[in-house]
Chains A and B, each alone.
Chain A
């Protein structure tokens, strides 16, 4: 390289003119200034760009960049002042048009100028940290024109006026608006914001404040929401057509605040058309609209949710404390299910399945279902009704649907153990009277309960089903071995129940007729022959019998009756007329049951196989009963049983409650012991909390009861109190 340098050291004369001429700069500048004029006067075609470029290049190269630059600034400024005047002169509607046109021209000119002065842009400007040509052009435009006193305010006013006109339905030149806003954007985001957007938002806020006030005075909730939605969509569309996209969120905010947020409460509470009315009238579209709109403002949905929740709670509470409703449990539960369905539908179709709403609904239901302590019983009765007859002819899918809904109500119950008790009772009756519509449905529900509550809950229920099956097998065996013996005697069918699985029944006295006793004994011997070590006792209050009866004119009927009723009726084989006392004496049936039994035999229309004297509705000790010769019925088979599950009377209810309470005590104790064994030492409040937590899937334990149980455990030396702190307990191994 160095060798080469030496060789090429003969510097040839510079082909470029070496400038000594001070006027050179002036001359060159004049050429360029002239060019700029021509460009602004639309005479660019006559120029040679190469020449101009070269001139600018030379000026910069020879250190006249400063002159070039300041010359540019001056020239451009003066041109822009001219333009500014012409724009100001424009009248009315032509103002925007003129502004737009001049802007386009300016841009074109600027580009050409920039091209010519590219060398300066590349070298001189970065070195001196001056504003590049293009940016300079924009800044000058901004300062001279947009921010000129006369133009600035006029521009703003016209833009806002256009928006206002469009809002009242007029058609405006959107393309022009777009160009203008784009121009503002190009000049710099702060220009757009300060000169236009800020005022646009203010004016819009005022506009909507007024309009919303008007609307809310004159429209009902649904209409108002429609209008609000329409305005909102309008604004969004407006932005997409001729505003900067970043304005969208700002203007929608304005609309949301003015039209929705300010009037939220009033809308929701509006009489005859507010939220509650929409729910009651199932106006899904309106509700959906409300949801979408309110979602946009903070606390909008919270408001809807709260109002809805308190309404649900109130209606629920009303339903649960309405004595009329409570008379028919099946209807009552159906009502609950319908209520749940209704709200589910609202949440899915109008509220987009919003989880928070679902949760609110669930907690409301949980709240009011547990307000009535008889809810568990009623739900069980509902299921009982369905499994007896309600599900006849229903498809398998619908059965599953219904059972799932029932399970859902079950989940809301706090006192699941009460439900268990009733369910067992009702199931027992269904099984024993053979009245269950569908075995599959029964089993399906058991499975669901097992999934929900665990094996413990359903083990006894399953035991009941097992007993039924086993009894069938036993009967087969019995008939096979003793079939010949029976001959003309009564046909016996026995269900053997394992005591633990079935609801405990009080052992009642009842003297069976002789004919029956015989075969019963035969069975007992047979059974005990195959199962030694067991004890059998006849449950006379749970059986049924089919009797063939012949009446006065020879009409025969087959009567399906309870065991008690059978005992009573068999007496009339030997006598036509019996007094209450006589019947009582012979049959030894308990008074309450006997009275009910006689009532169903003598006082029910269509089933009065007995006649009572006197003909009053109630049974008293002094009544006499006669065989009703004149009894007629359309049907050959007549059912007179009284075994259907019924809503308990108050006293029965009390009894069951008591039994439930008794059952709870050992469960609480077991929980306490379990906890103490693990923790060794624990204070009172924590024990109560832990016990509650452990048992909450079955029932809500009463803290007072827990305390009593703790004390009982202390007495029995499972636990002891700490010597120092009375509130602390210790586990005794």
Chain B
């Protein structure tokens, strides 16, 4: 895995998610964070479960924009918390 093209997103419970930079850029906020330079961003207020879903969403968004139109399934239990995150991340 190329180091340069990935970023590490760290959740509140210290789970690390390594995703492509392109995927991370779907969130304009993450794109703006200076920590991008360092290659890792910490989110002390987002749990791993949510962060995982968010990463999934990034990839889905990339696919969708390239023409693959599928549905993004959200488990109902996650919806409430999941609503806050995008608000925070501007996604």
Contact = CB atoms under 8 A, between A and B. Distances in A.
Interface stretch (B16-24, B54-62, B63-71, B73-81): B73-81
Interface stretch (A47-55, A207-215, A423-431): A47-55
A16 B45 contact: yes
Interface residues of B, number: 21
B53 interface: no
A530 to B, nearest CB: 99
B35 A50 contact: yes
B35 A48 contact: yes
B35 A4 contact: no
Contacts, number: 49
Interface centre among B33, B42, B47, B76, by most A CB within 10 Å? B33
Interface residues of A, number: 22
A122 interface: yes
B75 to A, nearest CB: 10
B52 to A, nearest CB: 15
B80 A11 contact: yes
A412 interface: no
Interface in A675-690: none
Interface centre among B12, B32, B44, B79, by most A CB within 10 Å? B32
Contacts of A54: 44-45, 88
A53 B33 contact: yes
B25 interface: no
B42 A50 contact: yes
A50 B43 contact: yes
Contacts of A360: none
A119 B90 CA distance: 8
A50 B41 contact: yes
Interface string A256-290: 00000000000000000000000000000000000
Interface string A2-43: 001001100110011000000000000000000000000000
A47 B33 CA distance: 10
Interface centre among B29, B77, B80, by most A CB within 10 Å? B29
Contact of B84 (A11, A12, A16, A49): A16
B35 A8 contact: no
Interface string A108-135: 0000100100110010000000000000
12 contacts: A4-B76, A12-B80, A12-B81, A16-B84, A47-B34, A48-B35, A49-B32, A53-B32, A54-B45, A54-B88, A119-B90, A122-B90
Interface of B: 12, 28-29, 32-35, 41-45, 47, 76-77, 79-81, 84, 88, 90
Interface of A: 4, 7-8, 11-12, 15-16, 44-45, 47-51, 53-54, 57, 112, 115, 118-119, 122
